[in-house]
Amino acid sequence: MAKSKTCCILVCFVCLLLTAGCWDSKSIEDRGFIVGVALDIADAGENTPLGSNNLALTVQFIVPGGYATSQSSGGSGATPKAYKNITGTGDSVFSIAHQMDTKTSKQPYFEHIKVVLVSEEILKHDELFASIMDVFIREPEMRRGVDVLVTKGEAKKYLAFDAHEGQQIPAIYISKILENTLQSKRTIHPVRLGKMHEYLLGSSSFAVPVASMEKNNIDISGVAVFHGHNNKFIGMMNANETTGLNLVTGNMKYGGVEFKINNRLMNFEILDSKSKLKVDASNPQQVNIQVDIKLEGRIEEMYGDKRLLNENYIAAMEKKFQVKLNPLWRNLS
Amino acid sequence: MHSNIMKNVQHVTERKQLPENPKQLLHTIFLEIISATDVKIAKTIDDLFNDLLYGNTIFLLDGVDMVLNINTAGWEGRQIEEPITEGVIRGPREGFVENLLTNMMLVRRHIRDPNLRFDKHSIGKRSKKYMIVSYVEGIVHPELLQEIKRRLQTIDMDDAPDTGYIEEWLQDSFLSPFPQITNTERPDKVSSALLQGKVAILLDGTPFVLIAPATFGNALQSPEDYYERFVIATFIRLLRYLAAFIAIFMPALYIALLSYQPGMLPTNLTISIAAAREGVPFPPFVEAIMMVITMELLREAGARLPKTIGQTIGIVGGLVIGDAAVSAGIVSPVMVVIIALNAVASFAIPEYSLGISFRIILLGFMIAAGLLGIYGIILAYIMVNIHIVNLKSVGVPYSAPFGPFFKGDWNDLVMRAPLQTINRRPVYMQTKDDKSGNKGE
């Protein structure tokens, strides 16, 4: 009697498993892999739903068939593009993202996002940037390793940019540039979403790399600076100022410094940099900050044929110029 | 028979004086005339039955109530040749044959210790085949031997054509996909098992010898490991463990990652696989099941066909069918690659029975992956793990050096330490004589 009862329960359990299982199963070719997201303020002409925000979200899908053929055929005739951009407008990022469900044949899948581009128009509105970042941080499908960039001009254009470098998909192209910026002094390290989360919650100011479009390529140099307390956009720093920032924060491990000695150019490559900040806040009206920067490197390029014995001290002086370009950006309080 | 008995007896009548008394005559013949080595005097018919059916000659003399039982068994048999299922690259190329005496001789040649015992039993109600239980007294744990003998007493069948029958009677769990008793065709494997304190069972009429008990670590060992140097042997052992992993998990991982968690693949790989799967009509699960079944069919077919055709069918069939299926758009090329890799990996397992059991488990994992993705694989793995840990092989835990952790046995498990350092018998066997070699004397 007991035996048939356990048999019964076992059969019920197996049936449950078979009927309820694989509810989550979606074949890989039915998913649309999203690699890049661009956020803009929508033009006034487009339909403006209720609410004061007017966001335009562009997502970039990968078309796997186009990817395969354009790799193999090498661009003969009318090759299908390897990506597809779809734009939606609305109030909140989440609602726009769900509009995508009805605009494409594949189910959008966000886990492969590589880069999030935010146009500088959005930065002009208070709190909009932080609010936009919120959905990317909360949604479990978005990963913490996604890079965030601020773009000059319309972010949508960056997702349609063909750089003729062999990489068919603009979002992946941009993320590959970001890998190179680890070794750059003209911009800071790429800011990942996880780090962005920390910044938004914390109270120190932070900076996000800025991308600008040139004729043949996308240039990532300079940063956009945000206030620590209210996450408000303060301003942009150009490449030189960012170099100064890197010097002060001790992040300048690569790159070089050009200077002139005896009217000849010399290039000093920096291999290691350390910086020390001393803050004297005894008088709240006038706070003194002393920055000690130590740089280690070697002479990389030299014009002329002078010998190098007693010119090192001149190099130190030249660096001070660099630091002078660095505005007081860290707001201490 | 002819030369030893008939000729001698015929010559006798021409020779010397023979005693008149028939009984004495028989004795004389027994002692002096018949030149066979194994001659016994038997009194009752019961003694004679088995032996007569085994090929002995019975010499009856009129007027005497005793007979001579002469061992003249000698029939055609297979030559000693390389074992078919367990070839090695380096090592002895002798394999067991069907004749029991020859097999005993092969084992005895490896272990010339007087403590090596061969206990004769008779199996099968109607076949009355001879079965030898062999062990080294002084090494083997006495309770183990007792338990095996007890189980052998319970065997109740008509005939045992192969040791597989005896294995099914002896084993602990008949539902488990894992074989709990090793079978082998190689004398060197048997002799090293005997020296480890295990018990070997030889059966007349089959070249496959059973070795009990067996553990999971044994299944992934091959005698070749000991004939090569230890760096090579360790590397190959690790490769075997990797092959076991691939043989069990690969198609299941494919199904789970494609259907449920494509976020776990690198982006480029995801794009390649998605591109390859455009237009394929079946979901990954159905695709995988189809290919696995096709592969199994090919393997079975290859085993039945004669040698030369069998090999070609396996390779050519696999390639051609796979290629044709890909061109027709039924399966994706990635699937063919994965299944081919899987098949190759399962052939790398040295023990054939375990290779088959891995394929059964593979099917289970594929179903679990198809239902619940990676979570399903983990659940199924936990079930298999619990099962292995609970499994016992004649009292010895099946996952012995892994499960109940015996530190001293790990030098011969995943890696093979230099032979100079392996100087103890396996701890999990609890042998009476611990040390091998002359250590400590």
Q: Please report the pLDDT score of residue B363 as a whole number.
A: 92
Nearest-CA neighbor of B133 among B143, B116, B120, B124?
Answer: B120
Average pLDDT, chain B: 83
Q: What is the pLDDT of residue A219?
A: 85
Residue B213's SS3 state is: coil
Give the pLDDT confidence score for residue A293 in this predicted structure.
74
Task: Choose one of B70, B92, B122: the last residue of a domain.
Answer: B70
Q: Is B190 part of a structural domain of the chain?
A: yes
Determine, yes or no, domain membership for B46: yes
Whether B365 maps to a domain, the answer reads: yes
Indicate which of A29, A73, A147 best probes the interface with B, i.e. most B CBs within 10 Å of its own CB. A29
From B278, B371, B373, residue closest to A17, measured CB to CB: B371
Asked if B259's CB is within 8 angstroms of A27's CB, the reply is yes
Residue type, B96: F
pLDDT category of residue A317 using cuts at 50, 70 and 90: low
Is the residue at B134 inside a domain? yes
pLDDT for B9 beyond 70: no
**Does B15 share its domain with B109?**
no
Using a CB-CB cut-off of 8 Å, the residues of chain B touching A109 are 262-263
Q: Which of B175, B190, B214 is the last residue of a domain?
A: B214
The whole-angstrom separation of Cα B185 and Cα B182 is 10
Going by C-alpha positions, the residue among A106, A231, A252, A133 that lies closest to residue A185 is A252
**Using the beta-carbon criterion (under 8 Å), do A24 and B275 form an inter-chain contact?**
no
- Is B437 part of any domain? no
User: Is pLDDT at B353 greater than 80 in this prediction?
Assistant: yes
Q: Is the Cβ–Cβ distance between B276 and B327 less than 8 Å?
A: no
B269 and B198 in a common domain: no
Asked, for residue B79, whether it belongs to a domain, the answer is no
Which of chain B's residues have a Cβ under 8 Å away from the Cβ of A35? 267
Rounded CA separation A83/A72 (Å): 16
Answer whether A29 sits within 8 Å of B370, measured CB to CB. no
| Cβ-defined contact of A27 to B271 (cutoff 8 Å) | no
- Residue A96 clears pLDDT 60, i.e. is over it: yes
Residue B243 to residues A60, A115, B220, B258, B294, Cα–Cα distance (Å) = 40, 38, 10, 22, 21
What would the DSSP string read from start to end of B344-388?
Answer: HHHHTSS-HHHHHHHHHHHHHHHHHHHHHHHHHHHHHHHHHHHHH
Q: What is the pLDDT of residue B62?
A: 75
For residue A29, which residues of chain B lie inside 8 Å, CB to CB? 274, 277-278, 280
CB contact under 8 A, B274 and A31: yes
How confident is the model over B374-404, as pLDDT tens digits?
998 999 999 999 999 888 888 888 888 887 8
Mean pLDDT, to the nearest integer, of B421-431? 77
Evaluate whether residue B263 is within a structural domain.
yes
Domain finish residue from B30, B49, B70: B70
Residue B238 to residues B222, B226, B247: CA-CA distances in angstroms? 12, 14, 14
Alpha-carbon span A265 to B3, nearest angstrom: 112
Q: Which of residues B426 and B92 earns the better pLDDT score?
A: B92
Which residues in B111-148 are b (16+ Cβ under 10 Å) and which e? beeeebbeeeeebbeebebbbbbbbbeebbbeebbebb
Nearest CA in chain A to B265: A112
Same domain membership, residue B380 and residue B265: yes
Interface of A with B (CB under 8 A): 17-18, 21-22, 24-29, 31, 33, 35, 62, 64-65, 67-68, 109, 111-112, 114, 141, 143, 172
Report the pLDDT averaged over residues B29-33: 68
**CB within 8 Å: A21 and B376:** yes
User: What pTM was estimated for this model as a whole?
Assistant: 0.80
Q: Are residues B300 and B361 in the same domain?
A: yes
Query: Taking CB atoms and an 8 Å limit, are A24 and B263 in contact across chains?
Result: no
A-chain CB neighbours of B272 within 8 Å are: 64, 68
What pLDDT score does B366 carry? 92
What is the residue-averaged pLDDT of chain A? 77
Domain that holds residue B253: 230-396
For A113, the 3-state DSSP assignment is coil
- Same domain assignment for residues B203 and B343: no
- Cα–Cα distance between A246 and A188 in angstroms, integer? 7
Interface probe, candidates B257, B270, B332, B374, chain A, greatest A C-beta count within 10 A: B270
Task: Give the count of Cβ contacts less than 8 A between chain A and B.
Answer: 71
Contact A172 B267 (CB under 8 A): yes
Residues B206 and B253 in one domain: no
Mutate to test the interface with A, among B371, B375, B377, B379 (most CBs of A within 10 A): B371
pLDDT at B61: 74
Q: Is the pLDDT of residue A310 over 50?
A: yes
Confidence at residue A76, expressed as pLDDT on a 0 to 100 scale: 43
Q: In residues, how long is chain A?
A: 333
**Number of domains making up chain B:** 3
ipTM reported for the complex, 2 dp: 0.77
How confident is the model at residue A75, as a pLDDT?
Answer: 44
Average the pLDDT over each of A77-91, A301-315, B352-366 and give the range with the smallest value: A301-315
Cα Rg, chain B, nearest whole Å: 28
Note the pLDDT tens digit of each residue in B258-317. Answer: 888 888 888 888 888 888 888 888 888 888 998 888 888 888 887 788 777 776 777 677
pLDDT at residue B201, rounded to an integer? 92
Note whether A64 and A142 are within 8 A (CB): no
The residue with tokens 């001293």 is B408
Inter-residue contact A91 to A128 (CB < 8 Å): no
pLDDT at A294 over 80: no
Least Cα distance to B233 among B244, B222, B219 occurs for B222
The pLDDT value given to residue A309: 56
- Residues B193 and B247 grouped into a single domain: no
Locate tokens 């592969």: which residue? B295
The distance of Cα A213 from the centroid of its chain, to the nearest Å, equals 15
Between B404 and B167, where is the model more confident? Answer: B167
Which of chain B's residues have a Cβ under 8 Å away from the Cβ of A114?
Answer: 267
Determine the Cα–Cα distance for residues A307 and B200; give it in Å rounded to an integer: 85
Element (H, E) at B304: helix B284-304
**Confidence band of B249 (pLDDT split at 50, 70, 90):** very high
- Average pLDDT value for residue range A252-267: 70
Please report, as a single letter, which amino acid is at residue B276: A
CA A301 centroid distance within chain: 32
Q: Are residues B259 and B303 in the same domain?
A: yes
Judge if B57 and B155 occupy the same domain.
Answer: no
- Which tens digits make up the pLDDT trace of A52-80? 667 888 888 888 877 655 444 444 444 56
More confident of the two residues B385 and A239: B385
Q: Which of A236-240, A298-302, B93-97 has the highest mean pLDDT?
A: B93-97
- Residues B185, B150, single domain; the answer is yes
Q: Angle, to 10 degrees, between the axis of helix B284-304 and the axis of helix B352-390? A: 130
- B318 three-class SS: helix
B373 and B244 in one domain? yes
Q: B187-207: b or e for each residue (b if 16 or more CB lie within 10 Å)?
A: bbbbbbbbbbbbbbbbbbbbb
| In-domain check, residue B422 | no
Q: For residues B45 and B281, which has the higher predicted lDDT (pLDDT)?
A: B281
- In Å, how far is B392's CA from the nearest CA of chain A? 25
- In DSSP notation, B321-333 reads HHHHHHHHTSS-H
Q: What token pair was written down for A291? A: 């920055």
Q: Where are the beta strands (DSSP E) in chain A?
A: 31-41, 55-62, 83-90, 107-109, 115-119, 147-151, 191-192, 206-213, 218-226, 233-237, 256-261, 264-280, 288-302
Same-domain pairing of B236 and B193: no
Residues of chain B contacting residue A17, judged by C-beta atoms under 8 Å apart: 371
Contact (Cβ atoms closer than 8 angstroms) between residue A332 and residue A287: yes
Whether the CB-CB separation of A132 and A93 falls below 8 Å is answered with yes
